[in-house]
């Protein structure tokens, strides 16, 4: 009832006026700090945090001090802090304060990850954006936006903000393999725009992609130039992320060779396909995988490299995004060998209600190749003891988070900490 009322209020005219005014007041209070920086925003459904961190590294390595704010972390140059808010975009006041701090720390550039909620609720309004990046749009937050079209149009607002700002840069970077992105590029007249894709004729493109269990290789093509790239990142989504980052900084006249060197030295963002290996030769991957598209991509990748079985410790979103449940569990059912259903953030929805609902969609024999283990630590421990040599365990849903929203309130919890503790307790099979 609380969440329904909250969503109704968010759509009300008084609420929208209040949020719009709040961002204007915040901008004035902090003296419009974004005017003193080049601000690039990044938005899409999957991969925002990784792309933002790639952009940050390229700039820090090659141009000047850069600020960064993402779902996972925030940075001022090399000073890094974890994002403890459990949201991509904080309030308008906190956003402007962050930008002000960035200016005070002599940051010339700023990379902001932006969510559809942040746009709709005006948390990131009244920022002077100089560039916009979009790589894909798939189903997400439809409990809030109701339709994919409304979700996409909300993100489109940021491109329009860049146009209205009339920055000297005025840059749009768009994945033209995505139909929505392609239509936006054709519709909006940016001063500068560049498109990227895979195995296409777009300006910056990737060919000959090779995926391995610990890295990815591809050939970057721009006009007649070709560059071989080795990423310390896994799966096809991250090729798009790398292309987006390359496209942005090409416009700032950073040579391809320097961009590629920064990208090849980039380490995986916490909670994004983190890879572990124990002495039994069991592989572990910890990933967000919170949309049908992302989950399908992860499991496609793992099925292409697997030598044993794939064990998935998975979740069901709580009251938000309930329409994703059957779609995501159909993907897990189809592309895994063993499934373990567990909690994510049940929060205000009864945990057993979520588990019972999801279990009805699984067409497997309980306690054979399908288990229900509500406690997340025990679910990961069960996966550990079920695994054998060359098996792959995918722990999806909680990614980098260190807080779980239970029916009894918040508690400290981390998938990575739990996994490391389970493996460490088995001294014979610790990590290699």
Over the chain (432 residues), the average pLDDT of each successive run of 10 is 57 66 89 92 72 90 89 86 75 91 94 79 83 71 57 74 77 82 73 81 88 91 91 87 87 87 87 82 86 84 92 76 78 92 78 80 85 91 95 84 75 84 79 69
37 forms bridges with which residues in the sheet?
none
Query: For position 193, what pLDDT does the model report?
Result: 80
- CA dist 250 → 182, 192, 255, 394 (Å): 20, 12, 7, 35
Rounded-to-integer distance, Cα 405 and Cα 383, Å: 22
Displacement of CA 197 from its chain's centroid (Å):
19
Rounded-to-integer distance, Cα 333 and Cα 337, Å: 8
Q: Is the pTM of this model over 0.75?
A: yes
Is there a contact between 271 and 399 (Cβ–Cβ < 8 Å)? yes
Rounded-to-integer distance, Cα 173 and Cα 321, Å: 28
| Per-residue pLDDT reduced to its tens digit, 162-183 | 777 777 777 888 888 877 777 7
- CA neighbor of 230 nearest in space, from 266, 264, 200: 264
- Cβ-defined contacts of 253-256 (< 8 Å, 24+): 254/58, 254/62, 254/63, 256/220, 256/222, 256/225, 256/227
Q: Domains (ranges, CATH) in the chain?
A: 2-264 (3.40.1190.10), 274-429 (3.90.190.20)
Rounded-to-integer distance, Cα 140 and Cα 145, Å: 9
Query: For position 261, what pLDDT does the model report?
Result: 94
Query: For position 16, what pLDDT does the model report?
Result: 64
Is there a contact between 181 and 138 (Cβ–Cβ < 8 Å)? no
Token digits for 242?
Answer: 């790398």
- CA dist 259 → 132, 247, 287 (Å): 19, 10, 26
| Per-residue pLDDT reduced to its tens digit, 138-156 | 555 455 545 666 677 777 7
For residue 420, give the 3-state DSSP assignment: helix
- CA dist 339 → 264, 314, 352, 396 (Å): 34, 7, 17, 11
Q: Calculate Rg over the CA atoms of the chain.
A: 22
**363: number of Cβ within 10 Å:** 8
Query: For position 141, what pLDDT does the model report?
Result: 46
Query: For position 324, what pLDDT does the model report?
Result: 75
- CA neighbor of 361 nearest in space, from 322, 308, 391: 322
Rounded-to-integer distance, Cα 377 and Cα 67, Å: 35
Rounded-to-integer distance, Cα 361 and Cα 363, Å: 6
Token digits for 275?
Answer: 């890879």
């Amino acid at each position: 009832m609380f969440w329904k009322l909250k969503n109704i209020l968010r759509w009300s005219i008084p609420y929208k006026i209040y949020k719009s005014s709040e961002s204007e007041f915040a901008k004035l209070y902090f003296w419009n700090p974004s005017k003193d920086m080049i601000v690039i925003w990044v938005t899409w459904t999957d991969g925002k945090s990784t792309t933002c961190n790639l952009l940050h590294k390229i700039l820090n390595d090659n141009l000047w001090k850069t600020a960064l704010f993402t779902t996972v972390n925030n940075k001022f140059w090399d000073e890094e802090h974890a994002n403890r808010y459990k949201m991509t975009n904080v309030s308008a006041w906190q956003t402007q304060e962050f930008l002000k701090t960035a200016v005070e720390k002599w940051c010339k550039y700023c990379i902001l990850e932006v969510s559809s909620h942040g746009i709709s609720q005006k948390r990131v309004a009244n920022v002077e954006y100089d560039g916009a990046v979009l790589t894909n749009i798939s189903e997400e937050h439809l409990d809030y936006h109701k339709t994919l079209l409304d979700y996409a149009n909300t993100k489109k607002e940021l491109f329009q903000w860049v146009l209205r700002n009339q920055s000297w840069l005025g840059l749009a970077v768009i994945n033209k393999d995505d139909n929505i992105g392609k239509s936006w590029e054709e519709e909006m007249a940016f001063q500068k725009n560049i498109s990227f894709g895979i195995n296409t004729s777009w300006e910056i493109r990737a060919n000959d992609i090779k995926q391995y269990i610990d890295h990815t290789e591809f050939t970057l093509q721009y006009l007649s130039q070709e560059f071989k790239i080795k990423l310390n990142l896994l799966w096809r989504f991250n090729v798009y992320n790398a292309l987006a980052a390359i496209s942005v900084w090409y416009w700032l006249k950073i040579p391809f060779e320097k961009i590629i060197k920064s990208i090849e030295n980039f380490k995986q963002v916490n909670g994004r396909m983190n890879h572990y290996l124990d002495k039994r030769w069991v592989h572990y991957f910890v990933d967000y995988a919170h949309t049908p598209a992302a989950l399908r991509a992860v499991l496609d990748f793992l099925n292409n490299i697997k030598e044993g079985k794939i064990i998935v410790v998975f979740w069901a979103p709580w009251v938000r995004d309930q329409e994703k449940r059957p779609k995501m569990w159909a993907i897990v059912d189809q592309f895994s060998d063993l499934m373990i259903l567990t909690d994510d953030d049940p929060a205000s929805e009864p945990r057993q209600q979520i588990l019972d609902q999801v279990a009805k969609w699984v067409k497997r024999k309980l306690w054979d190749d399908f288990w229900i283990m509500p406690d997340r630590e025990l679910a990961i421990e069960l996966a550990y003891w079920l695994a054998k040599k060359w098996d792959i365990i995918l722990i999806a849903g909680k990614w980098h988070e260190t807080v779980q929203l239970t029916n009894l309130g918040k508690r400290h919890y981390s998938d990575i900490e739990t996994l490391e503790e389970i493996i460490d307790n088995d001294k014979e099979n610790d990590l290699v």
